[in-house]
Chain A
Amino acid sequence: MPFTRKIVRVSKVTKTFQLGKVEVQALKGVDLEIAAGNYISIMGPSGSGKSTLFNMIGGLDKPTSGKVFIDEVDIAQLDAYELAWLRCRKIGYIFQTFNIIQVMTALENVTLPMIFAGMSNDAAVEKGIQLLKLVGLGDRFQHKPFELSGGQQQRVAVARALANDPAIILADEPTGNLDLTTGAEIITLLKRLSQERQVTVISATHDIKMLNVSDQVVWIRDGRIEKIEDREELSISVGQVDIKG
């Protein structure tokens, strides 16, 4: 295997939540390395610590012990300002519930991260229109979120995640609120973007359709990594899961 840059490195991470008087250990020592440009799926039953690991990688939450490196930067060392910069420039987020800002049009949603990044309004609008065309919403950029279907909202979210050309796209159950066909479309879109733009896509998911396009699947169970499978092994162990939209 040729040497590839590790975009994400998780080292001996544990996370403990305090639920009332009970301490719950969501992650019990996780080590993980993710190579740049790959399409990774994190799979596991609910309550397995999947979302917690996902939040750690996204810099949304800090580990109780252990370290998370994004592009070889320890995110625990970053102050609020640098963390905001990381979220703005390095990581694009896609959520299960789309989280399009309701009061803004599709285009304004896409341009907002670019405005945060210091881009001029005209440049941001131009790039925003380009991105919306890229995700197949070229004619709907003046629409408000409530005028868009779920699949279209998720496309806006994908365009927004790409706004500042991030190195990583984090997708938390991106197909969780979508029907089969629309979900498959979003997965195809993410895969295409990851190949065309060399973006690392990391998605936490239950969706078996995801396995098909993943370069690597990380199985989580009970706060630990159960196994990590590459694409080749996967087709053997999973067999026939050929669902094409």
Chain B
Amino acid sequence: MKQNYIHVPSVKTPQIDRQVVLPFLKSLEISFKNLQVRFFRSLITTMSLVLAVSFLSFVNVSTDVANSLLNTHDISIRQALIRSGYDVSPEDTSVGSSPKQRWIVILSLLVCVVGIVNAQLMAVTERFREIGTMKCLGALDRFILRLFLIEAGMQGLAGASIGAFAGGFFSLLNAFLSFGPIAIATVAWKEIALSVFLAIVIGCSLSLLGVLYPAILAAKMQPVEAMRAEY
């Protein structure tokens, strides 16, 4: 933003009257309506996030469960863990996720971001005219940017929350089925809550990261280009 406002002689109104504003609550309202109206489109964007985040959450919670099982120092449980595929050598006191597992998680998150960018670019193209109209009505670049970021934030929060809880739930279910009730009894809930929370935060950030480029593209658009677009 330029700091030096050029003096405009014929406009005698004081500076305060020359503002162009979009209150935060109003942008929240507009974004929410946009999501409502384009429910299925936003559902697709959200679904890719749900899947990726639930995978992340599943892996992390499973590791938490395995760790708390290991901390029981019970030989038979240690055997059960090894049987179900964890690399536990006799001197280990904790299990980490294997490098391969980490790679798969990172890859799935990357794929998810690419999917979000793709879906959001489509959404921007679809809304060229709407964005241009808003700009003709006096919207600033940052209003448009803010609308897209709020929408992505809401999608991110919803998608990541559903994904994180679903992943956590299925991980616990899986542990219960393979190790029996003891898996649930020994669970360190604090660790699991932390894993789920982390998954939600990562999911939200991914959603915002994915929308950044499309949103900047939309915000930078000249209103006349938007008017020309034939959709």
Interface residues of A (CB under 8 A from B): 55, 58, 60-61, 71-73, 77-82, 84-85, 87-89, 93, 95, 97, 99-104, 112-113, 115-118, 121, 160, 172
Contacts and interface: CB of A to CB of B under 8 A. Distances in A.
Contact of B135 (A87, A97, A160): A87
Interface stretch (B6-14, B105-113, B188-196): B6-14
Contact of B6 (A60, A77, A97, A121): A77
Given A60-B227, A71-B10, A72-B9, A84 B22 contact: no
A142 to B, nearest CB: 14
B67 to A, nearest CB: 48
Contact of B227 (A72, A82, A88, A95): A95
B20 A81 contact: yes
Contact of A84 (B11, B129, B130, B140): B140
Interface in B117-133: 129-130, 132-133
A21 to B, nearest CB: 21
B19 interface: yes
Contacts of B185: none
A193 B155 CA distance: 43
B1 A116 contact: no
Considering the complex of A and B, which 10 residue pairs feature the smallest CB-CB distances, nearest first? A88-B138, A60-B224, A103-B37, A113-B137, A99-B133, A116-B138, A87-B138, A93-B136, A79-B2, A72-B10
A101 B227 contact: no
A103 B33 contact: yes
A101 B130 contact: yes
B136 A112 contact: no
Contacts of A101: 130, 133-134
A87 to B, nearest CB: 5
Pick the most buried of A60, A72, A79: most chain B CB atoms within 10 A of its CB.
A60
Given A60-B136, A60-B223, A78 B6 contact: yes
A162 to B, nearest CB: 12
A102 B20 contact: no
Interface string B123-165: 0000001101111111111010000000000000000000000
Nearest to A93: B136
B110 to A, nearest CB: 32
A81 B3 CA distance: 10
A130 B26 CA distance: 21
A160 to B, nearest CB: 7
Nearest to A164: B138
Given A60-B227, A61-B224, A117-B20, A80 B134 contact: no
B20 to A, nearest CB: 5
B158 to A, nearest CB: 19
B18 interface: yes
Interface in B29-61: 30, 33-34, 37-38
Candidate in A78, A81, A121 with the most chain B CB atoms within 10 angstroms: A81
Most chain A CB neighbours (cut-off 10 Å) among B8, B9, B22: B8
A58 B17 CA distance: 21
B10 A87 contact: no
A77 B224 CA distance: 18
B75 interface: no
A150 to B, nearest CB: 16
Given A99-B129, A101-B130, A81 B223 contact: no
A51 to B, nearest CB: 9
